[in-house]
Amino acid sequence: MRFVYKTVLAFTTFLLVLTSCSSKQNDKAANDPKPTTAPPDTKALLAYNPKDADKRIDSFMQQLHKTRGFNGNVLVAKHGKIIYENAIGWADYLHRDSLKINSQFELASVTKTMTSTAILMLMEQGKLKLDDNVKKFFPDFPYDGVTIRLLLTHRSGMMNYVYFTDDLYRAQHWDQRKGISNADEMALIAKYKPRPFNQPDKRFLYNNSNFMVLGSIVEKVTGQSYADFMMAHVFKPAGMAHTAVYSKAVYSKIPVDVVGHDRGQWRYSVAQNFLDGPVGDKGIYSTIGDLYLFDRALRAGRLLKQATMDSAYVPRNPMLHGHFSYGYGWRIFEAPGKQVIYHTGWWHGFRHIYLRDIKDDITIVLLSNLSNGSLLKLDDLFNIVGMPVVRKSAYKGNGDTSDD
């Protein structure tokens, strides 16, 4: 009888411990919820009446167009409401096609913000770890010690594949009209082993190779193309109906109407070539409205857990000029009580800036297809909307907003 009593007591104690552990796990899960899957109300989020346009912003943008040559689309939102949007200028100067609000722009390096989202999503799903070595996915990768975390923060030390591949194509007299895929690019790097700039984790060195490799890892881990994964897991959940990945490795002609114009002059329209094939570092085409939906999706926890998103906004490099750093796929500006998460873009005649004031809930999207210095002259816009001036020379030392 005593034996039975001890057995029952031991079993009861075991159940209590098990229940307690289960309760703690449930509490932890409750405090760290999964991203919501409910479809966003995009119509309400994108609601805007031009009659309600902020007149100060409109005056500034018209002046930026007239005096600084800004040509592109702009959206400004505060506290979840669009207060200004406009399409200014030409989509294709040669054909005198005007830009429309839903015109799709090659996002250039703004793409990196979405690639990092995909990588962090796969991390949450347990399909990769940030400290995984690239060789885990690509055994022929010629560099030692390069991890996903170092790629996300531009600390891999890799060379820039854009210059390496351009030089190789010219030297070999290869056809430059057809784009190469990420798999092709990774094979070229494995075969030719271009010399890296420095050792991994030695210093911050921004270049496109990091996110091209991350795009390749997305494909390797999921068994899907980067385009298909992004559509299913980022664009659609965020309600981004006018966003897609277009690669010259798939399309002989990219199916959008907006043409990039380089050197700040209309006569230099840019024809896409083989370097428009690799994606992850670039290759996403989107609109000002969809970038705002991306912002709202991140804020609402539709794509990533809040803790994961917060980790992306932590400065992972020494502060430049005391204010500027880089996290996981995001540039970071910090001042006392202020944080602006942003990214710039510059590629084949496109130049952009996408800014998100986290604390005060302000979003600014400027997409331009005339590559000039107009986006370096935004101080008045920042002051109008109440966002810190995100420009390096506005603080200490010399220099302007970083370019890609």
pLDDT at residue 122, rounded to an integer: 98
pLDDT at residue 397, rounded to an integer: 43
Cα-based distances in Å from 85 to 58, 287, 368: 9, 11, 14
pLDDT in tens, 254-305: 999 999 999 999 999 999 999 999 999 999 999 999 999 999 999 999 999 9
Distance CA 322, CA 282 (A): 28
CA atoms within 13 A on the CB side of 187: 5
This prediction's pTM: 0.89
Maximum alpha-carbon separation in the chain: 97
CA angle, 175 then 178 then 182, to 5°:
110
CATH topology of domain 39-394: Beta-lactamase (3.40.710)
CA atoms within 13 A on the CB side of 71: 24
Those residues of the chain that have pLDDT short of 70 are 1-37, 395-404
The domains of the chain are located at 39-394
* Distance between first and last Cα of the chain: 79
Strand order in the sheet with 324-326: 81-88, 72-78, 362-368, 350-357, 338-347, 331-335, 324-326
Length of the chain in residues, anyone?
404
Amino acid (1-letter code) at residue 119:
I
pLDDT at residue 25, rounded to an integer: 38
In the beta sheet, which residues pair with residue 324?
A: 320, 333
3-state helix, strand, coil in the chain (%, to 5): 40, 15, 45
**Token pair of 247 as six digits:** 């690669």
What is the DSSP track for 83-127? EEEEEESEEEGGGTEEP-TT--EE-GGGHHHHHHHHHHHHHHTTS
Task: Let me know how many helices (H) and strands (E) the chain has, helices first.
Answer: 13, 12
In SS3 terms, 159-184 reads as CCHHHHHHHHHHHHCCCCCCCCCHHH
Distance CA 252, CA 241 (A): 23
